[in-house]
Structure 1
Amino acid sequence: MKNEPNAFLPVVPGLLLCGAVTLAAYALEAAETRVFGRAWLESLVLAILLGTGVRTLHRLHPRFESGIHVGAKLLLEIAVVLLGASVSAGALLENGLGLIVGIAGVVVIAIVLSYFIGRGLGLPKKMAMLIACGNSICGNSAIAAVAPVIDADGKDVAASIAFTAVLGVVVVLGLPFLVGLLSFTPVEYGVFAGLTVYAVPQVLAATASVSAASVHIGTLVKLVRVLMLGPVVLVLSMIGRRGGSGNARLRLSHLVPWFIVGFLLLLAARSAGWIPEAALVPAHEAANFFTIMSMAALGLGVDARAVLRAGGKVTSVVVLSLLGLGAVSFVLIRLLAV
């Protein structure tokens, strides 16, 4: 028993540093909101940028490393579990099975398309998959959730998030212009925004200037994409394990990461109404905090000079992948005539 506290002590300095970067990111986001009326860069993005800046400009003492590693992995897995309490399958089924199946199909097609675009432009397999999942599901959150499953390198995660985040801001600003250009109705535009914009807050920002109907349907479509995170990560986990160890009798715990099981259990509990309403907001806030703190840890493990070497390729892959997602989404909207 005496050794247990001592075993925890080595991670404290790194976790405290991650916490300090996280608080700084929150403060900068609040300052953006006060000055500009909105946060152009969310605290999640700011955390990884600040962490990367600290790592690049200052050589960290080795005592920080173990805590940074725990922050980047364990806290992220806890955040994914808590994310399951944020979505309910019931509200989604009310909007038609055809639309739900279509959205799932778009996500699968977009992942495959984006992955092969990345590989075709010379990106490593893991980085190509990170960008594919980020573009096709829910941006930074999907990249963060997929990373531990495919054992992605920290610099690949940081680069993927940084470039997708910048492009996400551009998409939010430019998407409303497509209403007239593509002759979208408010509902069609909401579906398109839900299929192409990365984060739920960004969907709200991209649709609020069009109509309330766009906001409503866009949010629901976005939630369907979020629901795809669990199955996608589960499949990637099984693919990653297959053939790797040569053991045909792998245990279920080896095939299914514990945090994906937790995500699906909380999703089922939320859908069944077993989670009290009073617990939903704290769960969401905790998931958000742990995600941001894990992004700070990822940033603290990355030297920006290494990330910048892959800048041109990553930018091209992200842009082309997003254009492919937009094209597939447009086809779905015309086929379903929503």
Structure 2
Amino acid sequence: MWLPGVLVAAAAALLSWALHSLIPAAPLLTIAVVLGIIAGQLPALRRPLAGTLAPGLSVAGQRFMRLGIVLLGLKLSLGDIAGLGWVTIATTVVIVLVTFAGTLGLGRLFGLPGHQPLLIASGFSICGASAIGAMSGVVKAKDEDAATSIALVTLCGTLAIAVLPALWHPLGLSPAEFGHWVGAGVHDVGQVVATAQVAGPAALAIAVVVKLTRVLMLAPIVAVASVVERRRPTPTGDSPAKTPLMPLFVVGFIATVVLASVVPLPTPVLEAADAVQTALLAMALFGLGSAVRLLALVRTGWRALVVGLLSWVLVAALAYGAVHLG
């Protein structure tokens, strides 16, 4: 029965919204992940989280995540992205690809288990926990691999909210340049907003468009991962893994991007879709966060932490270089 877990995830999303209203600088989705992580550490909650609540939290972490990603496409306008200019678009794509490949290589170099290298690479290069959830569903990753990756991207994204504004003036960046840096170098959309808003509305506008350009890379990268997974043999070597050639939610994401680009949707429709998308992702991220076990992460996850921190430095450095090319 999935209803109890879904109701708990909905309550956590509401609590996240309330806390975000009290502390606007804290991104709502980051709060949702943190609440899930906290819940997963409480001894009194571990049994229900693994028992009666597990089916609903699984529905939230997988199906709601995919629906939220589909609605995320409505925030993307190809016209706005084109307005950045070809240099900015090209450097943003290069940052995503280099960060993805570099993080994947680091994960394998440090011997991370399972799908952790792929999930961490997806989260740090594209759009944080949402990308991890999307990639996890495609490659059928273990819950602990997804949980570890989400914990890392949440930690580093939260650090970025404090660290990047502190470096804004010492690096001599204008508000527009700072916005470009944040959009190209911070992981989650909510974290980008929280970081860029300190430099004013112009910086925030540039940061969001650059960030959404990175989000657009979710579709091709997940599609390629799906093709690779489709050809990968099972552990027994008998037959290739059965995965869709193009995951349905990726098709939906592309469709909403096209819709938002060619049809002038009314503002109330976009606002309603944004509210639903945020609620779905908050519920999904609470569900995924509740699978994190910090003690196990501390004991066995030091290599993943090193990979995450190195990836964070890599994407921030590449984004800073792109600012001077754009």
TM-score normalised by L of structure 2: 0.87
User: Distance between the aligned counterparts of 2:262 and 2:170, measured in 1?
Assistant: 42
Q: Which has more radius of gyration?
A: 1
Identify the residue that residue 38 of structure 1 maps to in structure 2.
Answer: 25
Residue 132 of structure 2 is aligned to residue 143 of structure 1 = yes
Partner letter of residue 73 of structure 2? G
**Residues 117 and 293 of structure 1: is their aligned pair in 2 closer, same or farther, counting only changes over 3 Å?**
same
TM-score normalised by L of structure 1: 0.84
1:127, 1:157 within 8 Å by CA — same for their partners in 2?
Answer: yes
1:47, 1:293 within 8 Å by CA — same for their partners in 2?
Answer: no
- Please say which of residues 296-305 and 189-198 is displaced more in the overlay: 296-305
**Residues 204 and 243 of structure 1: is their aligned pair in 2 closer, same or farther, counting only changes over 3 Å?**
closer
- Please say which of residues 313-322 and 161-170 is displaced more in the overlay: 161-170
Residue 71 of structure 2 is aligned to residue 79 of structure 1 = no
Partner letter of residue 297 of structure 2? V
- Please say which of residues 140-149 and 291-300 is displaced more in the overlay: 291-300
Identify the residue that residue 7 of structure 1 maps to in structure 2.
Answer: none
1:54, 1:300 within 8 Å by CA — same for their partners in 2?
Answer: no
- Please say which of residues 135-144 and 238-247 is displaced more in the overlay: 238-247
Task: Please report how far the alpha carbon of residue 211 of structure 1 lies from its aligned counterpart in structure 2 after TM superposition.
Answer: 4.5
| Count of matched residue positions in the alignment of Structure 1 and Structure 2 | 320
Where 1:208 maps in the other structure, the secondary structure is helix
- Aligned positions of 1:49-198 closer than 5 A: 49-54=37-42, 57-60=45-48, 62-198=51-187
**Residues 54 and 258 of structure 1: is their aligned pair in 2 closer, same or farther, counting only changes over 3 Å?**
farther
Identify the residue that residue 5 of structure 1 maps to in structure 2.
Answer: none
Where 1:146 maps in the other structure, the secondary structure is helix
Task: Please report how far the alpha carbon of residue 54 of structure 1 lies from its aligned counterpart in structure 2 after TM superposition.
Answer: 4.9
Q: Among 260, 263, 267, which residue is 2:257 paired with?
A: 267
Task: Please report how far the alpha carbon of residue 141 of structure 1 lies from its aligned counterpart in structure 2 after TM superposition.
Answer: 1.8
Structure 1 gap segments, 5+ residues each: 1-9
User: Distance between the aligned counterparts of 1:55 and 1:290, measured in 2?
Assistant: 27
**Residues 247 and 272 of structure 1: is their aligned pair in 2 closer, same or farther, counting only changes over 3 Å?**
farther
- Aligned positions of 1:181-330 closer than 5 A: 181-244=170-233, 254-273=244-263, 275-330=265-320
**Residues 176 and 15 of structure 1: is their aligned pair in 2 closer, same or farther, counting only changes over 3 Å?**
closer
- Please say which of residues 263-272 and 141-150 is displaced more in the overlay: 141-150
Partner letter of residue 22 of structure 1? A
Residue deviations 1:11-33 (CA, integer Å, cap 9, x gap): 223323333333343344445x2
Identify the residue that residue 17 of structure 1 maps to in structure 2.
Answer: 8
Identity of aligned residues (%): 31
**Residues 143 and 55 of structure 1: is their aligned pair in 2 closer, same or farther, counting only changes over 3 Å?**
farther
**Residues 120 and 40 of structure 1: is their aligned pair in 2 closer, same or farther, counting only changes over 3 Å?**
same
Q: What value does the CA root-mean-square deviation take over the aligned residues?
A: 2.6
Where 1:59 maps in the other structure, the secondary structure is helix
Task: Please report how far the alpha carbon of residue 301 of structure 1 lies from its aligned counterpart in structure 2 after TM superposition.
Answer: 4.1
User: Distance between the aligned counterparts of 1:81 and 1:23, measured in 2?
Assistant: 21
